[in-house]
């Protein structure tokens, strides 16, 4: 992966013109302010269909591009201009998939009978109440759905997320063949990197949490090896206690720094750099740094380990974590409260649904300083399309869909993109992205230091070049300076 800022976007929600339009927008030979801006693009699910039960994360056919967006030749053409990342949804498949429809009609006689996890697949000797309660849940209720197949047979299917998303037995030969077919299709189409979606839930084991177990790590390692053999780098998506991120980072190419968004919000909300600096001192550097994604703002990532009954503390005290959630709700004028927890369907208990710009109270200076901090940390920055345009909460979309995360999944028209790019906050963000991409200091040595109790200094040094960010979270006083031999220093004041 290039050490440059990456974009993460839905194909249909940034301009609405499908893959050909996205290529024209992002290519170095493209049109408009985003041309040549990013070192790579993560295309959120563009498979058939993009508008199922979970915005494409419940594919009917993971090896088919939704024809409303284009086809595999369009993916290949985009990948020739900018590095492309795609999702491999390893945990589940749509209940409308041809594989499940065949299984529903034929039962055990279907060639896909081994593809789907049932209750007795995981608990062949029966299950106790206590064993079911041991299973880690990101959402309320049990991960099970009772279904009557078309052949009349009743089965209890494993459904970690929604009843329309049927969990795959990734250890069965049918499960392996299904996932390997996806890898081959992506590699053949020029995709250079994959993100393993929901990989932490992929392995189920009787009497265990069924989340991030040793067997899960083993599966991720084996699957990643098969991907690398096809020339694909692997990003693993895990929302969990921060020590799990450190552990998994040792075994894979890339992880997300999901602790960063809530820690940045905490630093500004409480006027302190201490928890953030503590994390900077231990965080994995083979990370994609993010402030926002298509999901909500993670809270579990900096909280205590809920799986450790003895108590493993989080990066911030529990009372401050609770207060942080309330401050996000207040900063958004209560909008995030309407999209979070039991207030909306498709919920994740450990996330606050809100655009990052709204989570910061639409304060342009704070927002740009947060982006500068993101870009200065070791790793590769990734910017979500709504965040790129300093987007607001889409309350109309939330009202129409009733899905909490849709608050931060706006459909931008070309006219909206053009108007957003004229806003000073977006223009300064684009300038920061170009500096992060092009400045040689970011290939050098990094150090972080406290500045009193409320600030920090982040600095990069390379031969003949340096970049420094000094920031006081209490006063917002800051200095942002870039220097290199033979050129005048660049000093920025943000906001």
SS3 sequence of 17-49: CHHHHHHHHHCCCCCCCCCCCCCEEEECCCEEC
Taking the CA of residue 71 as centre, how many other CA atoms within 13 Å lie in the half-sphere pointing to its CB?
A: 1
- Which position among 87, 233, 237, 292 bears the catalytic label? 237
Contact 439, 431 (CB under 8 A): no
| Averaged confidence pLDDT in the chain | 94
Q: Is the pLDDT at 212 greater than 90, yes or no?
A: no
Q: Is the pLDDT at 427 greater than 50, yes or no?
A: yes
| CATH architecture for residues 98-166 | Alpha-Beta Complex (3.90)
Residue spans of the domains in the chain: they are: 6-90+172-443, 98-166, 446-492
274-331, pLDDT tens digit by residue?
999 999 999 999 999 999 999 999 988 999 887 665 568 999 999 999 999 999 999 9
Query: How far apart are alpha carbons 321 and 366 in whole angstroms?
Result: 20
Contact 429, 402 (CB under 8 A): no
User: Which pLDDT score, from 0 to 100, does residue 197 have?
Assistant: 92
458-473, pLDDT tens digit by residue?
999 999 999 999 999 9
Contact 40, 7 (CB under 8 A): yes
Identify whether 237 is a catalytic site residue. yes
Which residues are paired to 455 by β-bridges? 451, 472
Strand order in the sheet with 455-462: 445-451, 455-462, 465-472, 478-484, 487-492
- DSSP codes of every residue in 363-422: -HHHHHHHHHHHHHSSSEEEEEHHHHTTPPP-HHHHHHH-BGGGGG---B-HHHHHHHTT
Query: How far apart are alpha carbons 294 and 391 in whole angstroms?
Result: 13
- Percentage of the chain lying above the pLDDT 70 cut: 97
Tell me the pTM: 0.95
- DSSP codes of every residue in 478-492: EEEEEEETTEEEEEE
Residue 141 structure tokens: 């209720």
User: Which pLDDT score, from 0 to 100, does residue 248 have?
Assistant: 86
* Residue 9 φ then ψ, to 5°: -155, 155
User: Which pLDDT score, from 0 to 100, does residue 238 have?
Assistant: 86
Q: Is the pLDDT at 346 greater than 70, yes or no?
A: no
DSSP label at residue 62: E
148-186, pLDDT tens digit by residue?
999 999 999 999 999 999 999 999 999 999 999 999 999
Contact 237, 196 (CB under 8 A): yes
Q: Which fold has domain 6-90+172-443?
A: TIM Barrel (3.20.20)
Identify whether 129 is a catalytic site residue. no
Cis peptide before 49 (omega within 30 of 0): yes
Contact 259, 243 (CB under 8 A): no
- Percentage of the chain lying above the pLDDT 90 cut: 86
Of 366, 348, 345, 194, the closest CA to residue 291 belongs to 366
- Which position among 54, 66, 197, 301 bears the catalytic label? 197
For 61, other C-beta atoms within 10 Å of its C-beta total 16
Average pLDDT over residues 53-70: 93
Contact 467, 481 (CB under 8 A): yes
C-alpha dihedral over 355, 361, 364, 365, to 10 degrees? -120
Q: List Cβ neighbours of 427 (8 Å cut-off, separation of 6 or more).
A: 421
Contact 228, 249 (CB under 8 A): no
Taking the CA of residue 388 as centre, how many other CA atoms within 13 Å lie in the half-sphere pointing to its CB?
A: 31
pLDDT band at 256 (very low <50, low <70, confident <90, very high): very high
Average pLDDT over residues 249-266: 94
Q: Is the pLDDT at 347 greater than 50, yes or no?
A: no
Q: Please, is 63 exposed, middle or buried when counting C-beta atoms within 10 Å of its C-beta (0-12, 13-18, 19+)? A: middle
């Amino acid at each position: 992966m290039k050490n440059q800022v990456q974009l993460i976007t839905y194909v249909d929600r940034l301009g609405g013109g499908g893959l050909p339009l996205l290529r024209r927008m992002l290519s170095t030979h493209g049109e408009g302010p985003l041309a040549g801006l990013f070192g790579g693009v993560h295309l959120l699910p563009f498979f058939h269909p993009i508008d199922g039960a979970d915005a494409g994360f419940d594919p009917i056919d993971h090896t088919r591009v939704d024809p409303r967006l284009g086809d595999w030749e369009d993916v290949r053409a985009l990948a020739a201009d900018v590095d492309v990342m795609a999702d491999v949804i390893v945990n589940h498949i749509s209940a409308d998939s041809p594989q499940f429809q065949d299984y529903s009609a034929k039962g055990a006689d279907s060639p896909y009978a081994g593809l789907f996890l049932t209750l007795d697949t995981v608990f062949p000797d029966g299950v106790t109440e206590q064993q079911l309660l041991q299973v880690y849940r990101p959402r309320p209720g049990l991960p099970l759905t009772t279904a009557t197949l078309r052949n009349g047979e009743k089965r209890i299917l494993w459904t970690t997320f929604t009843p329309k998303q049927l969990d795959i037995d990734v250890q069965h030969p049918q499960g392996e063949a299904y996932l390997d077919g996806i890898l081959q299709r992506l590699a053949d189409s020029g995709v250079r990197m994959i993100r393993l979606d929901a990989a932490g839930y992929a392995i189920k084991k009787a009497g265990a949490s069924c989340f991030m177990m040793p067997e899960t790590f083993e599966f991720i390692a084996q699957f990643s090896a098969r991907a690398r053999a096809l020339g694909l780098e692997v990003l693993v998506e895990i929302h969990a206690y921060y020590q799990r991120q450190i552990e998994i980072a040792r075994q894979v190419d890339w992880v997300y720094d999901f602790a960063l968004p809530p820690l940045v919000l905490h630093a500004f909300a409480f006027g302190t750099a201490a928890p953030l600096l503590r994390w900077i001192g231990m965080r994995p550097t083979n990370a994609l740094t993010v402030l926002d994604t298509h999901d909500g703002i993670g809270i579990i990532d900096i909280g205590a380990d809920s799986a450790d009954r003895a108590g493993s503390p989080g990066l911030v005290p529990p009372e401050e974590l609770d207060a942080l959630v309330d401050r996000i709700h207040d900063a958004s004028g209560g909008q995030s409260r309407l999209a979070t927890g039991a207030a909306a369907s498709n919920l994740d208990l450990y996330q606050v649904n809100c655009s990052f710009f709204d989570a910061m109270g639409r304060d342009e200076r704070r927002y740009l300083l947060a982006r500068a901090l993101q870009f200065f940390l070791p790793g590769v920055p990734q910017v979500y399309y709504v965040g790129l345009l300093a987007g607001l909460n889409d309350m109309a979309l939330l009202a129409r869909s009733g899905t909490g995360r849709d608050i931060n999944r706006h459909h931008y028209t070309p006219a909206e993109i053009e108007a957003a790019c004229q806003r000073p906050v977006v223009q300064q963000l684009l300038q920061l992205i170009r500096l992060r991409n092009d400045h040689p200091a970011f290939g050098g040595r990094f150090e972080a230091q406290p500045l009193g109790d409320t600030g920090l200094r982040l600095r990069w040094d390379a031969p003949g070049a340096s970049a420094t960010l000094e920031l006081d979270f209490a006063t917002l006083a800051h200095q942002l300076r870039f220097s290199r031999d033979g050129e005048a220093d660049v000093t920025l004041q943000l906001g």
